[in-house]
Amino acid sequence: EDGVETVDEDTYLTAVVLSEMPASFKPEALAAQAVAARTFLARQRLAGKHMDCDVCADSACCQAYQTDAQLHARWGSEYVVLRARIDRAVRATDGLLLTSGGLPIEVLYHACSGGKTEDAAAVFASAKPYLVSVDSPGEEGYAGFRADASFSCEEAADLLLRAFPGCGVTADTLPSAIRLQSTTASGRVATLLVGSQTVRGADFRKALSLRSTYFTWEADGDRIVFHTVGYGHGVGLSQAGAQAMAAGGADFAEILAHYYPGTQLTRMDKTGFSGS
């Protein structure tokens, strides 16, 4: 098991933003990500999720975090310049958190929404008033806005049977054995019929490692092709959308107010929250 590394907050936040968002993004988009990362850290501290540390480096649990050496290896000679860009974003937002009811919000973000973010209730069990679907224009220029994933029918049937044992799909019955049942308000796949089983779009996405639940599919000879829009779960801040807003002249506060409606920007001192 890895040991606990102690770093100061700004160093941690700079590393998270460098790990989570393209460092070439506009300064105001980077600043929005810095506030999101700081808010996440504050919420994890309050929750006391980890016994021996504030946060872990696993993006599935906390946030992606790479050490100085890992980031150096990833960025090479550009590292010093990129790090300075992120350092500025972290310093420009010093102490700022997103709060709701005086407490740090649950921060979710993703690479690209595909034009409209998703309501948290459609992906996760819990609804939050600030994690609702909003339009996210200007993302079309993002490199991964649209992508295709192609499978042989054998391969797709194998993956689906592994994920949903007993669904009864075979290579011969694909793609007709997959039928759309319902979509979410933002147009993503909510549920599908896979053979004889109803499955959640999120579970189907995971089974085939698709980029998002914003997908359609079609037969292509003896293959099945999935056309995806966007990248990630679609909830909260869209990084591609933040970049588009920043390019259009929005500052980080406007970006955050758009993607987390009804939240407040609150300045907290480094020691944490006043009161209990």
Q: What is the pLDDT of residue 188?
A: 97
Q: What is the pLDDT of residue 57?
A: 54
Q: What is d(CA 93, CA 222) in angstroms, rounded to the nearest whole number?
A: 53
Please write the tens of the pLDDT for every residue from 132-190.
999 999 999 998 899 999 999 999 999 999 999 999 999 999 999 999 999 999 999 99
By the 8 A CB rule, do 98 and 107 touch? yes
By the 8 A CB rule, do 130 and 100 touch? yes
User: Which residues lie across from 264 on neighbouring strands?
Assistant: 99
Does residue 2 carry a pLDDT above 80? no
Q: What is d(CA 34, CA 52) in angstroms, rounded to the nearest whole number?
A: 24
Does residue 276 carry a pLDDT above 50? no
Mean of per-residue pLDDT scores for the chain? 90
Q: Where are the beta strands (DSSP E) in 26-162?
A: 96-100, 103-104, 109-110, 146-152
Q: What is the pLDDT of residue 44?
A: 85
Q: What is the pLDDT of residue 273?
A: 43
Does residue 61 carry a pLDDT above 70? no
By the 8 A CB rule, do 116 and 259 touch? no
What are the φ and ψ backbone dihedral angles of 224, each rounded to 5 degrees? -125, 130
Element (H, E) at 43: helix 27-47
| Residue of 48 and 108 predicted with greater confidence | 108
By the 8 A CB rule, do 194 and 169 touch? yes
SS3 labels along 141-200? HCCCCEEEEEEEHHHHHHHHHHHCCCCCCCHHHCCCCEEEEEECCCCCEEEEEECCEEEE
Q: What is d(CA 41, CA 264) in angstroms, rounded to the nearest whole number?
A: 17
Q: What is the pLDDT of residue 55?
A: 55
Quick one: what percent of the chain has pLDDT higher than 90? 72
Mean pLDDT, to the nearest integer, of 220-224? Answer: 94
Mean pLDDT, to the nearest integer, of 198-203? Answer: 96
